[in-house]
Chains A and B, each alone.
Chain A
Amino acid sequence: METIYLDNNATTRVDPLVVDAMLPYFTEQFGNPSSLHSFGNRVGLALKKARMQVQALLGAAHDTEVIFTSCGTESDSTAILSALRAQPERREIITTVVEHPAILALCEHLEKEGYVIHRLKVDGKGRLDLDEYRGLLSERVAIVSVMWANNETGTYFPVKEMAELAHTAGVMFHTDAVQAVGKIPLELADSKIDMLSASGHKLHAPKGIGVLYLRRGSRFRPLLRGGHQERGRRAGTENSAAIVALGQAAEMALASMEHENTEVRRLRDKLEAGVLAQVSHAFVTGDPDNRLPNTANIAFEYIEGEAILLLLNKFGIAASSGSACTSGSLEPSHVMRAMGIPYTAAHGTVRFSLSRYTTEAEIDRVIEVVPQVVAQLRKLSPYWNDLGPVADPQQAFAPVYA
């Protein structure tokens, strides 16, 4: 069976050219880039090239603003903890309720240590209230951390505008741009963003490599201290093969940026329109007019997401869901709950995330399969009759909490 991978916001396949680029760094190019001899020097030059490739993708002013880390989570932790350590008198953080756990869990932990965490709320379309944000900026705030694009809905936050406001108020600004990097132009040099996190495996580089962008002149305290790697800002021998791979992947992402925002977007829109034309009581979550070109998050009412995924998987289609069951938690996705999506729909959300490898034939197949899967599960649902939802669903089926 042909398999169709539409879970590219979770991770992407490593591009074959990226694999080719990295392989020599496991074998003949094994030197330590810190070494003086030719073995090390050649690797050092390769890292320099990779740094410039990433700089170009980010639109950063200097290649030295790129720090290689092990993953997006490390970049997030480094950014926030650095801001706190560099400004011990500032004890507040501003973030949002819909951030990735890499930010939310860290903030929860810091809250227990006595820091004050302000979590900006979102409306039904996942948008922030900038007046609420303006009101919270003060000299007590160490850092603002707001994601560039939401991983579940793809919805953008106005990070450049928010960074300007933070800058004016004298507050550092960090953005977790793991989902945005490689999909849209960032042009960091023209922004007031101080720090940005990125992750290799979201843009067809391997897992285990991340980037922290650190604007030149920003006050910084490293998370890992030790050797002088990454100019002392991230000690530890460089993961040279993965860094070279990320450089190659960054160059390719920049080259296909146009494709991402035309062809991938067209396929995504076709997928949504095709599914919604056939399936009633389903809707796109987030802000459809202001989001990543590759992400479609559709809520199917009165059925549950894990069951949808299991059936899709049977047809060879890979996607992901915001249901509680897929994450092992009791609550459905915090992003869906924050947008006020009712439980009967939040558990039935399915995220389809495309990539530049997605084909028209694959999308046609998904449009054919999804309505069957939804119909099959609705047949089992206590909220569903033969033709549609039962009258007054919440009243007709009100189970005792078990």
Chain B
Amino acid sequence: MWDYSDKVKEHFFSPRNAGALEGANGVGDVGSISCGDALRLMLKVDPESEVIQDASFQTFGCGSAIASSSALTEIIKGKTLDEALKVSNQDIADYLDGLPPEKMHCSVMGREALQAAVANYRGEVWSDDHEEGALVCKCFAVDAVLIEDTIRANKLTTVEEVTNYTKAGGSCAACHEGIEEILIKVLAETGVAFDPTATPAAVEVAPAQMNTLQRIRRIEQVIQAVRPQLQRDHGDIELVDVDGKTVYVNMIGACSGCQMESLTLNGIQQKLMEELGEFIRVVPTRAGSLTRAMGN
């Protein structure tokens, strides 16, 4: 069974704003019946102020799809359409204290339902360019279609390059065989044979305009941003060093040795990768691990 947060379970067992909405003037139907998740989002928008006065949903889907739908309606009620459109899928996941990687698409579906409903209210046609393939990398929720497209667009030839561009394969490595198979297939289209010994092209994936100082400052900002959240739980984090793609941090107080430590670090790693546009590994420093070992 999935490792759902208490918030996900709570929203699944007692969903908010479920059912048809009387007088809805914006409706978005998105999802894929073949994948087993689909959602209808209904909005009641005040034409004067464009404030979402009420929202409700109907969902055909799993526990996290229902919880994501419920969370979405709670988040957007009272917001103007423009404010609501700024809600990202990560916001929905954060509202639920996170979703398992395989389930992140539920939050994506919520965001897309919102876009579709707003487009419907405004009399626009919303079309979706998002194509989903079989999930290859379960650690970072990267699917086959994205990997194929990225290989083609950037002429990638090695697993390491695929990891740098898409994050796929950057954690547990269980999908490296799958990534190799995709590389073999895509490279064959251009008559190239996959060479497992090839060295990755020296590509700087991080935006070129960022120098080392800017990059470290950016990393510091991300770390600073998560501190208040950790401090609330009587913990803290500090940046120790940055060595290439590895960011060393020190987990302090309640965070050190916390059972959720790896979850916290994964979250920070994810945020850093999004912020810097490159693969980053967050490693707790030895000092932290030592305290942990002695604490136990």
Stretch from B43-51, B128-136, B223-231 contacting the other chain: B128-136
Residue of B30, B37, B60, B103 most packed against chain A (CB within 10 A): B60
Interchain CB contact (< 8 A) of B59 among A331, A380, A400:
A380
Contact A380 B62 (CB under 8 A): no
Given the complex, which residues of B lie within 8 Å of A361, measured CB to CB? none
Residue of B39, B62, B131, B133 most packed against chain A (CB within 10 A): B62
Q: Which residue of B lies closest to A332 (CB)?
A: B36
Interchain CB contact (< 8 A) of B62 among A302, A306, A329:
A306
Contact A380 B58 (CB under 8 A): yes
Total number of A-B contacts with CB less than 8 angstroms? Answer: 120
**B18 interface residue, CB < 8 Å from A?**
yes
Please judge, given known A-B contacts A307-B66, A399-B30, whether A381 and B126 are in contact too, CB under 8 Å.
Answer: no
**B116 interface residue, CB < 8 Å from A?**
yes
Given the complex, which residues of B lie within 8 Å of A397, measured CB to CB? 29, 38, 40, 60
Please judge, given known A-B contacts A325-B37, A330-B135, A343-B33, whether A379 and B62 are in contact too, CB under 8 Å.
Answer: no
Contact A402 B33 (CB under 8 A): no
**B32 interface residue, CB < 8 Å from A?**
yes
Shortest Cβ distance from A301 into chain B, in angstroms? 10
Given the complex, which residues of B lie within 8 Å of A330, measured CB to CB? 34-35, 132-135
Cα distance A361–B51 in the bound complex, in angstroms: 53
Cα distance A313–B132 in the bound complex, in angstroms: 30
Contact A307 B135 (CB under 8 A): no
Please judge, given known A-B contacts A313-B1, A314-B13, A380-B19, whether A401 and B58 are in contact too, CB under 8 Å.
Answer: no
Please judge, given known A-B contacts A304-B61, A344-B60, A381-B59, whether A399 and B38 are in contact too, CB under 8 Å.
Answer: yes
**B113 interface residue, CB < 8 Å from A?**
yes
Contact B40 A323 (CB under 8 A): no
Cα distance A325–B59 in the bound complex, in angstroms: 14
Cα distance A311–B67 in the bound complex, in angstroms: 13
Interchain CB contact (< 8 A) of A400 among B34, B36, B57, B116:
B116
Bitwise interface map of A from 308 to 328 toward B, beta carbon under 8 Å scored 1, else 0: 011101100000000111101
**B31 interface residue, CB < 8 Å from A?**
yes
**A303 interface residue, CB < 8 Å from B?**
yes
**B71 interface residue, CB < 8 Å from A?**
no
Interchain CB contact (< 8 A) of A399 among B2, B40, B63, B103:
B40
Interchain CB contact (< 8 A) of A343 among B34, B65, B127, B130:
B34
Given the complex, which residues of A lie within 8 Å of B15, measured CB to CB? 380
Given the complex, which residues of A lie within 8 Å of B130, measured CB to CB? 401-402
How many of chain B's residues touch chain A, expressed as a range? 35 or more
Q: Which residue of B lies closest to A325 (CB)?
A: B62
Cα distance A225–B91 in the bound complex, in angstroms: 55
Shortest Cβ distance from B4 into chain A, in angstroms? 8
Contact A310 B12 (CB under 8 A): yes
Cα distance A309–B37 in the bound complex, in angstroms: 15
**B112 interface residue, CB < 8 Å from A?**
yes
Cα distance A207–B113 in the bound complex, in angstroms: 44
Given the complex, which residues of A lie within 8 Å of B24, measured CB to CB? none
Contact B128 A379 (CB under 8 A): no
Given the complex, which residues of B lie within 8 Å of A391, measured CB to CB? none
**A382 interface residue, CB < 8 Å from B?**
yes
Contact B12 A307 (CB under 8 A): yes
Contact B134 A401 (CB under 8 A): no
Bitwise interface map of A from 338 to 349 toward B, beta carbon under 8 Å scored 1, else 0: 000001100100
**A352 interface residue, CB < 8 Å from B?**
no
Contact B18 A379 (CB under 8 A): yes
Residues 115-171 of A contacting B (Cβ, < 8 Å) = none
Cα distance A297–B16 in the bound complex, in angstroms: 31
Contact A381 B58 (CB under 8 A): yes
Q: Which residue of A lies closest to B134 (CB)?
A: A330
Please judge, given known A-B contacts A343-B34, A380-B19, A382-B29, whether A401 and B128 are in contact too, CB under 8 Å.
Answer: yes
Contact A401 B32 (CB under 8 A): yes
Given the complex, which residues of B lie within 8 Å of A5, measured CB to CB? none
Contact A328 B36 (CB under 8 A): no
Shortest Cβ distance from B266 into chain A, in angstroms? 18
Shortest Cβ distance from B258 into chain A, in angstroms? 27
Given the complex, which residues of A lie within 8 Å of B116, measured CB to CB? 400
Cα distance A250–B135 in the bound complex, in angstroms: 40
Q: Which residue of A lies closest to B125 (CB)?
A: A400
Given the complex, which residues of A lie within 8 Å of B32, measured CB to CB? 399, 401-402
**A213 interface residue, CB < 8 Å from B?**
no
Please judge, given known A-B contacts A329-B134, A330-B134, A400-B30, whether A307 and B38 are in contact too, CB under 8 Å.
Answer: no
Bitwise interface map of B from 55 to 94 toward A, beta carbon under 8 Å scored 1, else 0: 0011111110110000000000000000000000000000
Given the complex, which residues of A lie within 8 Å of B276, measured CB to CB? none
Residues 1-24 of B contacting A (Cβ, < 8 Å) = 1-2, 9, 12-13, 15, 18-19
Interchain CB contact (< 8 A) of B58 among A313, A324, A382:
A382
Interchain CB contact (< 8 A) of A328 among B31, B102, B109, B113:
B102
Shortest Cβ distance from A317 into chain B, in angstroms? 13
Given the complex, which residues of A lie within 8 Å of B108, measured CB to CB? 402
Residues 182-221 of B contacting A (Cβ, < 8 Å) = none
**B138 interface residue, CB < 8 Å from A?**
yes
**A173 interface residue, CB < 8 Å from B?**
no
Cα distance A398–B28 in the bound complex, in angstroms: 10
Cα distance A324–B102 in the bound complex, in angstroms: 11
Residues 118-147 of B contacting A (Cβ, < 8 Å) = 126-128, 130-135, 138
Cα distance A309–B32 in the bound complex, in angstroms: 20
Q: Which residue of A lies closest to B42 (CB)?
A: A382
A residues with a Cβ closer than 8 A to B are 302-307, 309-311, 313-314, 323-326, 328-332, 343-344, 347, 379-383, 397-402
Known: A324-B36, A330-B34. 4 other contacts (CB 8 A): A307-B62, A310-B62, A310-B63, A402-B113
